[in-house]
Amino acid sequence: MRSNEFLIEKKHKKSPVKKAKHDDWEDQDNLPNDPDEDKVPHILMQLRKALDVDGDYPVKFKDGTKHKIPHEISKKFVERYLTLKPADREVMQDMAVASLEGFKKALSQKFSPLSEPSIYDR
């Protein structure tokens, strides 16, 4: 009988509430409003957006300036970018996103195109 009473007491006894070591709600107050606020979006995505709206979208550069790039120049940049090797794409994109002068320089610089046409172009 004694063991039965012990089991009943143990069953009804509430365990102490453990406080969480780390509270996630406290961390949300310390986060900035927008983590991507100071970052410049990828130059190719900005140019594609500008192409969609016929050049009426200002492209943001790393130096903080915004310029509207004409439709023909945006199209030329995107087409040229897609014909390059991945290593040259990075170089071209880093030059272009720096400033408007870097953008113009990236358009005029010689890069080695892909040696083989895409399987979709055959």
pLDDT at 119: 72
Residue among 102, 85, 117 at smallest CA distance from 40: 102
Instruction: Give the C-alpha separation, 105 to 41, whole Å.
Output: 20
In a domain, 86, yes or no: yes
Q: Above 80 in pLDDT, residue 23?
A: no
In a domain, 6, yes or no: no
Mean pLDDT for the chain overall: 79
**What residue numbers bound the domain in which 87 lies?**
43-108
What the block records as the tokens of 91 is 């170089």
pLDDT at 69: 93
Question: For residue 15, how many C-alpha atoms fall within 13 Å in the half-sphere facing its CB?
Answer: 4
Q: How many domains does the chain have?
A: 1
pLDDT at 40: 72
Cα torsion at 9, 12, 13, 14 (round to 10°)?
170
Q: Above 80 in pLDDT, residue 8?
A: no
The mean pLDDT of 29-47, rounded to a whole number, is 72
The pair phi, psi for residue 60, each rounded to 5°, is -95, 130
Residues contacting residue 91 through CB under 8 Å, at least 6 positions apart: 111
User: What is the tens place of the pLDDT at every residue in 95-112?
Assistant: 999 999 999 999 998 877
pLDDT at 33: 65
In a domain, 3, yes or no: no
Q: Is 86 helix (H, G, I), strand (E, B) or coil?
A: helix
Is the pTM above the cut of 0.85?
no
Higher local confidence (pLDDT), 32 or 52? 52
